[in-house]
């Protein structure tokens, strides 16, 4: 995967390079600004006046003079006179950058520069109590007290804060920039994987029409190759599935003809030889085969349902109609005299495919009758909750284990309570129900409790 490796390598390298360049530029800018501020410094009349006042009036007179200078606001800068204890003689808060600048210019290489490029006037002409020291004038007061004089440009509170905290602002800016670049690059790297995840989930759910976004499959790197391989695989699976469905339908149709002939031959044999147990057994098996073929055709039809048109369905009326049909079907069966109880809200509308919903309900209720105790109740409840239609069919059967939930709606799944050799079911009823509900954009699930077993169907309500 050389192409992708090179992209990741270059993106990471570019990110670090940009951060280093910006940090270096910011440091260089700060250094140059300090250099200019001190290198361009000249002892002017203000400094000379401060020296004169200190020499004639002492520290008290210097304080009065400095306070008057600040109050009169004559100069575009502020003057700070710092004593040996690193305190302003007026007790003001000293900008942090003053000490940072002095520490910077106290370094040996700046001292050498100062010796070569001293201030603009001859040192012999300076007052005795005034000394230039590393670009910062120093006043000599009574008792040999030292006072350094700093001039700082007047600034707004924002610019002052910016200058005082420049090194931290540079650090925070570099950190935020690295976070932004890392976030952007991470999203860029992971974007194809998000498409792959969504596509594979849909494919695993049986939606074989899913394809990877053209924005990914059109790429020229390894991600694009993987996307095109997944699309090719899905297309082959789709063709295989279509061929399998077509084969199932063809076989089912072909089987019906010999079964019909067998039934005719059986009826002729009954007329010639009379009824006996063997003939009844053959008739029952033919009926079972016909039923299985009918289920296979119906299951295959569910996958072709996209060509049908949805209609508006009244769910409570539909389920009542299904229950009445099943009651009529089982009314003379003494072994399956379950009481089907319907509890439903009125006029619950749903936009979908009536044949699919009807088939699902029929199979689920018949399954409940088969696996619940005789004469036990089967509760069918229909609710409209938060723009969702909830259909619950509950019986007193044993239910299933949690480990079997995924298999429960698969074709030819055998319920654990089914007897060995039991051939009364086709194993397709619940698979048909699941396909029908998903066809209608719904969800079907099995819920087992200590008391009962419930099939829960969730459908989108009509808006």
DSSP characters for 326-389?
A: HHHHHTT-TT--PEEEEEE-S--EEEE-HHHHHHHHHHHHHHHHHHS-TT-EEEEEEEEETTEE
Residue bearing the bigger pLDDT, 201 or 30: 201
Which structural domains are found in the chain, ordered by start? Answer: 41-164 (3.30.450.160), 305-460 (3.30.565.10)
**14-64 pLDDT per residue, tens:** 777 777 777 777 666 666 665 555 544 455 677 788 888 888 888 888 888
Please name which of 4, 360, 340 lies closest in space to residue 193, comparing C-alpha atoms: 4
Q: How far apart are CA 185 and CA 187, in angstroms?
A: 5
Main-chain dihedrals φ then ψ at residue 458, nearest 5 degrees = -120, 120
What pTM did the predictor assign?
0.48
pLDDT at 97 over 80: no
Residue bearing the bigger pLDDT, 294 or 379: 379
Distance in angstroms between the alpha carbons of the first and the last residue of the chain: 50
- Token pair for residue 396? 């007193």
Length of the chain: 463
pLDDT at 419 over 70: no
Place of tokens 């940009």: 18
Please name which of 153, 25, 35, 165 lies closest in space to residue 101, comparing C-alpha atoms: 35
């Amino acid at each position: 995967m050389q192409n992708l490796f090179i992209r990741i390598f270059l993106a990471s390298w570019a990110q670090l390079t940009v951060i280093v360049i910006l940090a270096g530029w910011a440091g260089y800018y700060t250094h140059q600004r300090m250099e200019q501020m001190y290198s361009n410094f000249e002892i002017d009349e203000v400094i000379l006046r401060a020296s004169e006042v200190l020499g004639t009036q002492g520290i008290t007179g210097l304080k009065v003079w400095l306070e008057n200078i600040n109050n009169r606001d004559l100069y575009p800068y502020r003057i700070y006179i710092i004593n040996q204890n690193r305190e302003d003689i007026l007790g003001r808060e000293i900008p942090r950058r003053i000490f940072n600048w002095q520490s910077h210019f106290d370094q040996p290489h700046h001292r050498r520069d100062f010796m070569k490029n001293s201030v603009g006037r001859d040192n012999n002409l300076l007052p005795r109590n005034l000394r230039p020291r590393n670009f910062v004038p120093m006043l000599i007061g009574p008792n040999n007290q030292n006072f350094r004089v700093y001039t700082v440009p007047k600034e707004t509170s924002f610019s002052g804060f910016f200058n005082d905290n420049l090194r931290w602002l540079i650090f925070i800016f570099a950190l935020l920039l690295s976070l932004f670049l890392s976030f952007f690059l991470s999203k860029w790297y992971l974007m194809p994987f998000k498409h792959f995840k969504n596509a594979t989930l849909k494919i695993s759910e049986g939606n074989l029409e899913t394809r990877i976004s053209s924005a990914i499959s059109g790429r020229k790197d390894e991600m694009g190759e993987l996307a095109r391989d997944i699309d090719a695989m899905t297309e082959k699976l789709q063709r295989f599935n279509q061929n399998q469905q077509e084969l199932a339908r063809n076989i089912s149709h072909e089987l019906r003809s010999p079964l019909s002939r067998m039934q005719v031959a059986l009826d002729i044999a009954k007329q010639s030889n009379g009824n006996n147990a063997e003939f009844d057994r053959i008739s029952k098996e033919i009926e079972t085969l016909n039923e299985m073929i009918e289920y296979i055709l119906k299951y295959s039809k569910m996958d072709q349902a996209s060509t049908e048109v949805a209609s508006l369905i009244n769910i409570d009326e539909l389920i009542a109609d299904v229950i009445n049909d099943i009651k009529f079907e089982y009314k003379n069966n003494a072994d399956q005299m379950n009481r089907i109880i319907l509890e439903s809200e009125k006029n619950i509308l749903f936009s979908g495919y009536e044949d699919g919903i009807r088939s699902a309900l029929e199979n689920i209720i018949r399954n409940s009758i088969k696996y619940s105790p005789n004469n036990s109740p089967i509760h069918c409840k229909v609710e409209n909750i938060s723009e969702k239609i909830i259909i619950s069919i509950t019986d007193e059967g044993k239910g299933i284990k949690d480990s079997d939930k995924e298999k429960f709606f698969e074709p030819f799944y055998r319920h654990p309570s089914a007897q060995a050799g039991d051939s009364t079911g086709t194993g397709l009823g619940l698979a048909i129900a699941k396909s029908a509900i998903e066809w209608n954009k719904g969800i079907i699930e099995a819920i087992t409790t200590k008391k009962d077993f419930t099939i829960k169907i969730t459908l989108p309500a009509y808006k």
